[in-house]
Amino acid sequence: MKIRKGNLQCSACEEDLISDVEDEEEKNIGCDKCPRWFHMKCTEFLGMSYDEAASKEYISFMCS
């Protein structure tokens, strides 16, 4: 997880994570095994609703 200028970044694409976006693909999801966070679009949950993804266990490609 990289932090630049106080902003949390996606561990996959390294773009800033924004917590209050409306676009489902830009929403954030955290790995259940480490402190890393990702955009939904950077995970296997791409195309899934945020509510559906949030109800599932997520283990990032970095931890699997």
CATH number, residue 13? 3.30.40.10
Contact 56, 49 (CB under 8 A): no
Segment 21-60, tens digit of pLDDT? 999 999 999 999 999 999 999 999 999 999 999 999 999 9
34 falls within a domain: yes
Instruction: Tell me if residue 36 falls in helix, strand or coil.
Output: coil
59 falls within a domain: no
64 falls within a domain: no
Taking 80 as the threshold, does the pLDDT of residue 6 lie above it? Answer: no
State the Cα–Cα distance between residues 23 and 1, nearest whole angstrom.
22
Q: What angle do CA 53, 56, 3 make, to 5 degrees?
A: 65
pLDDT at 33: 97
Taking 80 as the threshold, does the pLDDT of residue 4 lie above it? Answer: no
Q: In the 8-state DSSP scheme, what is residue 30?
A: E
47 falls within a domain: yes
